[in-house]
Amino acid sequence: MRRILSVIAPVLALAIAVPALAAEHEAKLYTPKGGWSFQGPLGSFDQGSLQRGYKVYREVCSSCHAMNLLSFRNLGEKYGPFYDEKFPNPADNPFVKTLAHDQEAPAIKGINEETGDVEDRPGLPSDRFPDPFPNEYAAKASTGGYVPPDLSLIVKAREGGANYIYSILTGFVEAPSDVTVPDKLYYNQSFPSHFLGMKPPLADNKVSFDDGTPSTIRQQAKDVTTFLAWASEPKQTERKRLGLWVMAYLIGMALLAYGSYRRVWKNVH
Amino acid sequence: MSGQPSTYQPKSGFTRWLDSRLPILRLAHDSFVDYPTPKNLNYWWTFGAILSFMLGMQIITGIVLAMHYVPNATMAFASVEHIMRDVNYGWLVRYLHANGASMFFVAVYVHMLRGLYYGSYKAPREILWILGCIIYLLMMATGFLGYALVWGQMSFHGAVVITNLFGALPLVGESIRTWLWGGFSVDNATLNRFFSLHYLLPFMIAGVVILHVWALHVSGQNNPIGVDPKSEKDTVKFTPYATVKDGFGVALFVVMFGLFVFYMPNSLGDVNNYIPANPLVTPEHIVPEWYYLPFYAILRAIPNKLMGVLAMFGSIGVLFILPWLDTSKVRSMRFRPKAQIFFVIFVINALILGWCGHNPPDKFAIPVGEGGLTFVWLSRIGTAYWFAYFVIIMPLLGIVEKTRPVPDTISSPVLSGAATVEKA
């Protein structure tokens, strides 16, 4: 049996290695300098990066991209961008309240409970992030035929995850001389087909960071990707933290089970 | 259940009273305490317990998910995300359920390959094996229905592809497909019935599992040498011996399960399923979940759609008649050196088929210069071996193979050393 396996293993290894070599010419993905704060089993989101990332989303991306699954209250949840331990209920968080209140959205309609009239009302933490377009036709009309994808789950919905988003945002380079870029499309080195309907969204100093972080394209891309990774799964940090305890417990239980097994079977020959 | 005299002694007044009315405690005692198991069972035999555990896990997490899920085409995807974001520990329950399905299939494949290697399907365990095949088919159906419920891009287009397979059947195909859909396309009616059936099938699985365990307890467990226990020396009591070993097996398995749930919960899924279903946009490559990939490769290996569908169902159907295709008098492959080689090739072939199912058919699996061997051709070779293994190799090998000497009893090789085995 072992001999058969020793013959087969190299063949199998080759079978896996060959397609890996062939993949070399496809669009490359990059990881930002210093990696991601949230990578690995112990990683958790860098709150400063989340806050800057939210600012980039709000000031740049949100003019075309919706985030339908996010509400303002999410921003104040534990491990989120504006979490403050003084306000365990994110709806009480004054910063989140202000963000919701100041949202630049088409007026929010509410019912006046005294008169029954439909009136404009101020934004609340329970409101969803506003949509940039009233409907998909409006979106198509303003972008030239594309509906910009919703970003709520974008990091989980693309092969390559955070690296993919970061690489696209930083991947607008001069097209190689032998390539003709079609009208209304933009060359991107990391996009699979290299032609992207999205204009290069970021530029140096396009977003001002209050904490003094230099506002380069790469920094903006890294921060907004961190924010989007959080938005894709706000419970990610909680998951990893709980996982440590659960894994420790399970391994302990497995060791105990092994000890019992050895002891019970001691006299069986 | 195993036909042995019951040794159950009710101890209290209540259990005596119960025993003369409904001897359910006697049944449990005879089946899971006093039941004799071969003492040489290895860790591959713990997968039965692992599967029972996983079935329980899937049913419990599934019931909780159903409390929050909305089976409606416009709300299903958002309700899954509501579970992930707003339901207390909803993310945990959903990841347990989604990865649990994969782990369930990991365990069932190990369990089936164990049966294949040690000849557990051979007389008198044919019915036991066939019941197992039925459970496997029900699991495949349940997994497919459950995957559709997420109502992401891959859910939707996977459901379209699979239901369209039935459309390939002559005469009745079209009507069956409309009947499955509840309309003229995969839509809200389809989602509703898929939800209903996804809730039903696990309980059918549980029912067949009971029959499976019953059949097991009638014929007794097979064991690594494939020689039935001859005396009490060959067996140990189920409790504590098998329970504690199964317990350890389950604990180890759950450690692996935990690693997926907490640290790579999406690694076995397709990224496209985090995009809401859109009938107007078809994903570039429609790929099923990993556990269907070998069969998907067999389906695509055959150019004619109907023949492809028949081959795919046939590749599982052939398992049902396996007990009569294997002509060998020796049960365990431990004593069948040639069969071992073909078995290992079968396992690798199944993995290669899975690799083919994952890749676009026209891509080169093994590029040679400008050309090479495409995945569709590789899957044709794989499909041929799959069927040849069961229909040609199994029957012939049993006749021509020279097997190694088989010990008389489970105890003898251990008690009298390896020398006697050589002489025997």
Instruction: Please say if the pLDDT value at position A144 is more than 90.
Output: no
Task: Note the pLDDT of residue B413.
Answer: 60
CB contact under 8 A, B274 and A153: yes
Which tokens sit at B172? Answer: 């009745």
Burial of residue B96 (number of CB atoms within 10 Å: 0-12, 13-18, 19+): buried
Give, for B386, the enclosing helix (H) or strand (E).
Answer: helix B375-388
B340 has a chain A CB within 8 A of its CB: yes
**pLDDT tens digits in sequence order for chain B, 424 residues long:** 456 789 899 999 999 999 999 999 999 999 999 999 999 999 999 999 999 999 999 999 999 999 999 999 999 999 999 999 999 999 999 999 999 999 999 999 999 999 999 999 999 999 999 999 999 999 999 999 999 999 999 999 999 999 999 999 999 999 999 999 999 999 999 999 999 999 999 999 999 999 999 999 999 999 999 999 999 899 999 999 999 999 999 999 999 999 999 999 999 999 999 999 999 999 989 999 999 999 999 999 999 999 999 999 999 999 999 999 999 999 999 999 999 999 999 999 999 999 999 999 999 999 988 889 999 999 999 999 999 999 999 999 999 999 999 999 998 764 444 444 444 4
Band the pLDDT of A19: cuts 50, 70, 90.
very low
Q: Are residues B72 and B220 in the same domain?
A: yes
Asked if residues B357 and B294 have their Cβ atoms less than 8 Å apart, the reply is yes
Domain boundary among B241, B259, B282: B282
Task: Note the pLDDT of residue A268.
Answer: 87
B59-108 confidence digits (pLDDT tens) = 999 999 999 999 999 999 999 999 999 999 999 999 999 999 999 999 99
Q: Name every chain A residue with its beta carbon within 8 A of the beta carbon of B245.
A: 261, 265
In a domain, B21, yes or no: no
Q: What is the DSSP letter of B276?
A: B
Residues 6+ apart with CB under 8 A from A43: A36, A37, A240
Nearest chain A CA: its distance from B58 CA (Å): 19
For the residues of A10-44, what is the DSSP string, one character each? HHHHHHHHHHHHHGGGSPP----TT--TT-STT--
Domain boundary among B249, B282, B315: B282
Nearest chain A CA: its distance from B340 CA (Å): 7
Which tokens sit at A105? Answer: 């959205």
Q: Are residues B358 and B373 in the same domain?
A: yes
Report the residue of chain A nearest B92, measured CA to CA: A239
Distance CA B232, CA B36 (A): 8
Nearest chain A CA: its distance from B78 CA (Å): 8
| Cα-based angle B105, A40, A159 (whole degrees, multiple of 5) | 60
Residue among A254, A154, A108, A7 nearest B341 (CA): A7
Asked if residues A92 and A84 have their Cβ atoms less than 8 Å apart, the reply is no
CB contact under 8 A, A69 and B365: no
Q: Name every chain A residue with its beta carbon within 8 A of the beta carbon of B414.
A: 269
Burial track A101-132 (b if 16+ CB lie within 10 A, e otherwise):
eebeeeeeeeeeeeeeeeeeeebbbebbbebb
Distance CA B137, CA A32 (A): 46
Nearest chain A CA: its distance from B200 CA (Å): 30
| Domains identified in chain A and CATH numbers | 26-35+45-69+133-231 (1.10.760.10)
Q: Are residues B102 and B60 in the same domain?
A: yes
Q: Are residues B70 and B192 in the same domain?
A: yes
B262 has a chain A CB within 8 A of its CB: yes
Q: Name every chain A residue with its beta carbon within 8 A of the beta carbon of B275.
A: 149, 153, 157
In a domain, B13, yes or no: no
Q: Are residues B105 and B118 in the same domain?
A: yes
Nearest chain A CA: its distance from B142 CA (Å): 24
Task: Note the pLDDT of residue A269.
Answer: 75
CB contact under 8 A, B271 and A156: yes
Q: Name every chain B residue with its beta carbon within 8 A of the beta carbon of A246.
A: 258, 262
Residue B133 sits in which domain range? Answer: 30-282
Name the residue facing A254 among B248, B352, B364 (closest C-beta): B248
Q: Are residues B245 and B342 in the same domain?
A: no
Instruction: Say whether A253 sits in a helix, a strand or coil.
Output: helix
What are φ and ψ of residue B356, in 5° steps? -65, -40
In one-letter notation, the amino acid at residue B203 is F
For the residues of B107-170, what is the DSSP string, one character each? HHHHHHHHHHHTTTTSTT-HHHHHHHHHHHHHHHHHHHHHHHHT-BHHHHHHHHHHHHHHHTST
Q: Are residues B141 and B246 in the same domain?
A: yes
In a domain, B5, yes or no: no
CB contact under 8 A, B251 and A253: yes
Nearest chain A CA: its distance from B244 CA (Å): 5
Task: Note the pLDDT of residue B382.
Answer: 97
Query: What is the tally of structural domains in chain B?
Result: 2
Name the residue facing A12 among B250, B274, B348 (closest C-beta): B348
Which tokens sit at A180? Answer: 């003709």
Instruction: Say whether B38 sits in a helix, a strand or coil.
Output: strand
- C-alpha count within 13 angstroms, C-beta hemisphere, residue B395: 10
B213-240 confidence digits (pLDDT tens) = 999 999 999 999 999 999 989 999 999 9
CB contact under 8 A, A157 and B274: yes
Residue among B49, B20, B39 nearest B216 (CA): B49
Task: Note the pLDDT of residue A11.
Answer: 52
Distance CA A193, CA A84 (A): 43
Q: Are residues B303 and B266 in the same domain?
A: no
Q: From residue A178, how far is each of A27, A193, A194, B418 by CA, in Å?
A: 17, 15, 13, 73
Q: Are residues B161 and B177 in the same domain?
A: yes
Q: What is the CATH number of the domain that holds B357?
A: 1.10.287.980
Report the residue of chain A nearest B415, measured CA to CA: A269
Residue among B309, B291, B265 nearest B112 (CA): B291
Domain boundary among B256, B282, B308: B282
Q: Are residues B158 and B222 in the same domain?
A: yes
In a domain, B4, yes or no: no
Q: Name every chain B residue with its beta carbon within 8 A of the beta carbon of A65.
A: none
Q: Are residues B48 and B195 in the same domain?
A: yes
Q: What is the CATH number of the domain that holds B164?
A: 1.20.810.10
In a domain, B423, yes or no: no
Distance CA A105, CA B85 (A): 24
Q: Are residues B197 and B315 in the same domain?
A: no
Q: Name every chain B residue with its beta carbon within 8 A of the beta carbon of A4.
A: 340-341, 344
Q: Name every chain A residue with its beta carbon within 8 A of the beta carbon of B346.
A: none
Report the residue of chain B nearest A74, measured CA to CA: B85
